[in-house]
A and B are shown apart, each in its own frame.
Chain A
Amino acid sequence: MEKEKKSQNILWRTLSSVKLTIVLLVLIAIASVIGTFIPQREEAVDFAHRLSPQTFHFFQMLGLFDMYHTAWFRILIGALALNLIICSMDRFPGAWRRFTARPRPDRSKIFQGIPEHQTFVVSQPGESVSSTLEGLLQSKYKGVVKKLSGSTVYFYADKGRFSHFGVYLVHLSVLVIIAGALIGSFFGFEAYVNILEGDQVSSAMLRGKMVPVDLGFTVRCDDFKVSFYDNGAPKEYRSDLSFLHNGEKVKSAVLLVNHPVKFRGITFYQSSYGAVPGDKALIRIVRRASKPQTSSLTVKLGEKVPLPLDDGFFTVSQIKDNFMNMGPAILIKVASQKGKPIRFWVFQYQDRIRRSFPGIFEKFPKLNPSAYKPYTFYLEEIESKYYTGLQLSKDPGVPVVWGGFILIIGGLFITFFASHRRFWIRIESRGGKSKISVAAMASKNPVGLERETHELLQTLKTPFGDKKND
């Protein structure tokens, strides 16, 4: 039994030691340094390819490609949290005692060796002086304690007792922040989704897992716009979103960077954007006849369009942003009463291709923009369509973390700038005169204490016309 108790004590002593705190802080710092030099998560792929197989396996085994989420890193954080709790439990009773302690006012030792300017004499009897001073002290401090000892009157007053708790508040707030992070990792998620303009989704891909998560509602991207400054730097990314439930629009919102949109507990962030070829092509058709004629028109994929001055129709049946490595192209199908329908590809960079491969279009009717006589098709542009890249996150831990932030700020202010200041005042009366002495102590910041003691002396001297001590 004795042995067990002793070992328990050792465990407690270890866990409550600040040495352990320092060791853990240093270990977490070192691990974090490693994590910043090894690319993490998405960025790790390129780096991992450059490693030798042995190094790769070693890194993989230690989880260095996603180090901040490994068990061992979390154990370090957990150990720090435990150390914080035990440390605080170990020391809190002491702080509580200092908080509740009411020292005796009639301590005479404390007045030994006080500087001379902290005493002064007034030519009034003790009783009237003490009642005046008591009023003054009570207006400046709460809970003034008085004690009579013969003809001598003692007062005790203090301020800032709560400052003993500042450091515990800081420790508590660190725990609160860790708790908030844990809540987020258990009950929250982070996901990504790209939505084409006009399209809608009702699920997104979980980060790092490539598993879809169902949102329980539908998001539609009505519009995406990107604008640029004159120097080419991006100015604004903007997505117009609609949120739908059972096919009905419930909410519409404008999403900008720095202005996330929240819907049913899920927050949407503007994260990226991109373009894909759309389903419209701007086409120019030239009819070579005695009277050449040109017409330009925008044609939708699959739309049946009459050929100018002809009984035939054409359709754009395919749109490719890079066909045969020769750039954007569309497949045109012309049907007329003259014969079988014909199909041919029309490239956007026709002239360039003609220069690089002379005669290519004549050789391959499938690539000839003039395959249907007397027309020549030109592809001016494939209209591109934007997609918006959204990041979705649900994190119920956020309010907890914010609470921790507020606590830590308050705690640090108290820890660094508040101090427990204690004052003892002694009034000794001798033959119609009274000698007043002030002694002061503070838990920290001696300079601030000196200033306050000086102020207190001034206050105490005022009713007596600031008489110099003799």
Chain B
Amino acid sequence: MTNATILSYITFVYFAAFFFYLCMMIMGKAAFGRVATWTCIMGFFGQAFAIGLRWYESYKMGIGHAPFSNLYESLIFFSWTIILLYLIVEWRTKNKTLGVFVSPLAFLALAYASFSPSIDSKIQPLIPALKSNWLIAHVITCFFGYSAFGISFGLSLMYLIKKGQKEERRGNFFVKLLPGAGVLDDLNYQIVAIGFLMLTLGIITGSVWAHSAWGSYWSWDPKETWSLITWLVYAVVLHSRMVRGWRGRKIAMLCIVGFACVLFTYFGVNYLAGLHSYAKS
């Protein structure tokens, strides 16, 4: 299938973007940053085209549905949303340093989707439980949430690196190029707020959908429960920041824990029994 072939090539595009971002950071040359951004933009549009093509191909096969129905398709969408959100953040902040932390996430998600032997890239027909208009709303909101938390993870790492550097090593381009700790902290909060809103919408759409598919809006299915755990962790982030006034290191650490929860909600839960089994392969 053409779409899967294109998507496997895009993996390398994102790797190239990561490489250029890294060159920019290590050598301190802005030209590499521009090349990296353009590589990202190319990859983004190429991937958008491939996703659209996959959607179209599924209709040609007579089993038409939005390409959000299994692990392969979700990974593709995940990497795409990460790049989309990243490009928006880069454009708004005029800072490219986040790229070196975020582009690997998109690259790894695509590489896992394209090259893992256990993941099937074939377009499969929708099983009865997935035949619902809620599928699109649920997947889009959840994955924008996951991606926002992925970016928050990148920002938290940047914060810890920036703060962790000793004075004498400040000469190093890598650390010098990173935005100030205060800026990172503020940006992280904004991204977490967006992620939290998206995750809330994702849980709500999932819940309304579950109500019509499984007969209960909440069944303590492991994936549901882990999404709630993730929600609780980010609720702690927001409360500790807004009310208790935590800043910086503690928040960064919490955001890293939060992203670990996101990853467990996404992948780890597949090892536990539950209703979301179609997201496994």
Query: Which residues of chain A (1-44) have a CB below 8 Å from chain B?
Result: 18-19, 21-22, 25-26, 28-29, 32-33, 35-37, 39-40, 43
User: What is the distance, in angstroms, from B17's C-beta to the closest C-beta of chain A?
Assistant: 27
Which residue of chain B has its CB nearest to the CB of A271?
Answer: B215
Indicate whether B272 reaches chain A with its CB closer than 8 angstroms.
yes
Measured CA separation A190–B212 after assembly (Å): 14
Measured CA separation A8–B129 after assembly (Å): 53
Query: Which residues of chain B (234-251) have a CB below 8 Å from chain A?
Result: 235-236, 239-240, 243-244
Query: Which residues of chain A (21-76) have a CB below 8 Å from chain B?
Result: 21-22, 25-26, 28-29, 32-33, 35-37, 39-40, 43, 68
Q: Is the CB of B215 within 8 A of A190?
A: yes
Q: Which residues of B contact A405 (CB under 8 A)?
A: 204, 207-208
Q: Which residues of B contact A269 (CB under 8 A)?
A: 213-215
User: What is the distance, in angstroms, from A203's C-beta to the closest C-beta of chain B?
Assistant: 18
Q: Which residues of B contact A409 (CB under 8 A)?
A: 197, 200-201, 204
Measured CA separation A342–B244 after assembly (Å): 89
Q: Is the CB of B208 within 8 A of A18?
A: no
Q: Is the CB of A229 within 8 A of B125?
A: yes
Q: Is the CB of A236 within 8 A of B128?
A: yes
Measured CA separation A33–B269 after assembly (Å): 11
User: What is the distance, in angstroms, from B89's C-beta to the closest C-beta of chain A?
Assistant: 13
Q: Which residues of B contact A21 (CB under 8 A)?
A: 239
Query: Which residues of chain A (240-278) have a CB below 8 Å from chain B?
Result: 256-260, 267, 269-271
Other-chain residue from B129, B196, B197, B216 in contact with A393 (beta carbon distance below 8 A): B216
Which residue of chain B has its CB nearest to the CB of A180?
Answer: B217
Q: Is the CB of A36 within 8 A of B269?
A: yes
Q: Which residues of A contact B216 (CB under 8 A)?
A: 190, 393, 395
User: What is the distance, in angstroms, from A358's C-beta to the closest C-beta of chain B?
Assistant: 47
The total of Cβ contacts below 8 Å across the A-B interface reads 104
Number of interface residues of B (CB under 8 A): 42
Indicate whether A144 reaches chain B with its CB closer than 8 angstroms.
no
Known contacts A36-B225, A181-B218, A231-B124; A258/B272 CB under 8 A: no
Q: Is the CB of B217 within 8 A of A401?
A: yes
Indicate whether A122 reaches chain B with its CB closer than 8 angstroms.
no
Measured CA separation A26–B236 after assembly (Å): 8
Indicate whether B263 reaches chain A with its CB closer than 8 angstroms.
no
Indicate whether B1 reaches chain A with its CB closer than 8 angstroms.
no
**Proximity bits, B120-141, A CB within 8 Å = 1, else 0:** 0000110111011000000000
Q: With contacts A235-B125, A260-B215 known, what are 6 further pairs, Cβ within 8 A?
A: A25-B232, A35-B225, A257-B129, A257-B131, A269-B215, A271-B214
Q: Which residues of A contact B (CB under 8 A)?
A: 18-19, 21-22, 25-26, 28-29, 32-33, 35-37, 39-40, 43, 68, 181, 190, 229, 231, 233-237, 256-260, 267, 269-271, 391-393, 395, 398, 401-402, 405, 408-409, 412-413, 416
The 4 closest A-B CB pairs, nearest first, are: A269-B215, A257-B128, A36-B222, A29-B232
Q: Which residues of B contact A (CB under 8 A)?
A: 63, 124-125, 127-129, 131-132, 193-194, 196-197, 200-201, 204, 207-208, 211-218, 220, 222, 225-226, 228-229, 232-233, 235-236, 239-240, 243-244, 269, 272-273
9 residue pairs from A and B, CB less than 8 Å apart: A26-B236, A29-B233, A181-B218, A257-B128, A258-B212, A260-B212, A271-B214, A391-B215, A405-B204
